[in-house]
Amino acid sequence: LLIPGYIDKEEVEKIAKFISSLNPDIPYSLLAFHPDFKMSDMPVTTKKLAEECYEVATKHLNRVNIGNKHLLW
């Protein structure tokens, strides 16, 4: 879950490296965040952040996708 201010491309790269150390064919979905319920003060995931995270994740993993693209701004 790509929550702006909590998860950045550096964090995604660490996660992708770890998953890749197990098996680079493990699927990894990057999900956009939408501020609802208790985190309504947080911003929506930007398209730029999602694309940057996708780029770093695909350096290490073969099966990366961006889920719920309709939420990206």
Token digits of residue 8? 């950045």
pTM, two decimal places? 0.90
pLDDT tens sequence across 8-65:
999 999 999 999 999 999 999 999 998 887 888 889 999 999 999 999 999 999 999 9
pLDDT tens sequence across 23-35:
999 999 999 998 8
Q: Where are the domains of the chain?
A: 9-71
